[in-house]
Structure 1
Amino acid sequence: MGLITEHESKKLFSSYGLNVTREFVAKDRHEASAYAGRIGYPVVMKVISAEIVHKTDSGGVVLNIHNSADALKAYDLIMKNVSKSNPHAKIDGVIVEEQVQGHELIIGSKVDPQFGPVIMVGIGGIFVEVLKDVAFRVIPITEKDAGEMLHELKSFSVLEGVRGQPKANISKIKKAMVSVSRLVKDNPDIQELDINPLMVDSKRAVVADARIIVD
């Protein structure tokens, strides 16, 4: 089993038509600050390492970076944190990416022993394991299947906009799900896949974080 890093995973998703965050790979603190300014604030920074699966738990993610001074501090903090939490991990730099707002969803895939590759969709972010509001189908799926999966979610009404909350673009979510289904079908070496979160607003659905595990 091997982990494909977030940045490389996003390249693969992009090749299948999914929107991904605008981002750059920085090798030092000054590059990180320069790229942050090029993207435009606020930005997010994340450690890049094939040996660190859970970046947040390792202190390898900093959100809400609003200026160049914050960018320099964020880079230094990430390096300090991961050197403590994962002292032997090979670090390949940091991702500097746009900070995207919207509804947080998860799209995932795994190989079921009985059914083979399956796709999952649910409410994403840090609460996915707590809420367990997810739906599954065997791959491949159509947009009709994707729509049925979304309607199975207990929190689907949130995506439609409740109590003045913005609506999510359901069509973009369905297209993203079908693209993931096609990607997994075309690449049988993929054992696990997670997009968490897929950030969705009224106009677009963007892969903000992702990982792929291959055999």
Structure 2
Amino acid sequence: MFKAKLLENEAFELLSKYSIPYPPYGLAKTPEEAGEIAEKIGFPVVLKIVSPDISHKTDVGGVILGVKSREEAVEGFKTIIKNIERKVPGARVTGILVQKMVKPGVEVIIGGKRDLTFGVIVMLGLGGVFTEVFKDVTFRIAPLTREDVYEMLNELKSAPLLRGYRGLPPVDIEALVDVVLKFSKLLEENPEIESADLNPVFAYSNGVLVVDARFILRGEELKI
């Protein structure tokens, strides 16, 4: 069966349709446009290659963090393109995603997949680089209620991090629950999506931001 993934800008467009919050971004096609978008968004920003042929962007020099000026954005665009031409010759390049670099929060992963027997299964857990190490995740079958998500949060070993730990403020639990419910609805209403994950999701004391999103499709591509 034909499979594809949404490009980064397409993934954020889909999130916007469900009012799932994410940092401001723009898709640049030229170095000058990267500088313009970065200046408009406000510094610092992150630059990321957008290509249907590249999954592990960092490994091929496709990501630059902490860009602090228009000039750096322009040069960063050029640097990424040169890296891709050298390390992944022939890769299709849609552009460079210019995204606001946000302060870190408590990292959460929200994921899901479509099961032939159970339908949509939603996952919630500790996010970021520790996802694979600690495997602190829990699952529910959609559709979800607020009570379901509260229960999922309470099942996590990392729950104390969300409630406030060693002087750290508690995260905005209600905002996090809202995102999980909206994500569940997104998967239910778009059967073209085979699997998806939002990782990392930064949970703050006053809100939540989805920093990165991946959607794997089956069959025909999702129309957004």
Q: Which TM-score bucket, shorter chain as reference?
A: over 0.9
Q: Percent identity, please.
A: 40
Paired residues of 1:107 and 1:177 also in contact (CA < 8 A): yes
TM-score by length of 1: 0.93
Q: How does 1:78-157 map to 2 (within 5 A)?
A: 78-101=80-103, 102-157=105-160
Q: Which runs of 4+ in 1 moved over 4 A?
A: none
Alpha-carbon separation, structure 2, partners of 1:135 and 1:57: 30
TM-score by length of 2: 0.90
Q: How does 1:1-215 map to 2 (within 5 A)?
A: 1-101=3-103, 102-215=105-218
Report the CA distance between 1:113 and its aligned residue: 4.4
- Partner secondary structure for residue 161 of structure 2: helix
- Ranges in structure 1 where 5+ consecutive residues have no aligned partner: none
Alpha-carbon separation, structure 2, partners of 1:170 and 1:42: 27
* RMSD after superposition: 1.5
Paired residues of 1:10 and 1:207 also in contact (CA < 8 A): no
- Equivalent residues, number: 215
- Partner secondary structure for residue 93 of structure 2: coil
Report the CA distance between 1:166 and its aligned residue: 3.3
Report the CA distance between 1:87 and its aligned residue: 1.8
Task: Assess, with a 3 A threshold, how the Cα gap between structure 1 residues 83 and 123 changes in structure 2: closer, same or farther.
Answer: farther
- Ranges in structure 2 where 5+ consecutive residues have no aligned partner: 219-224
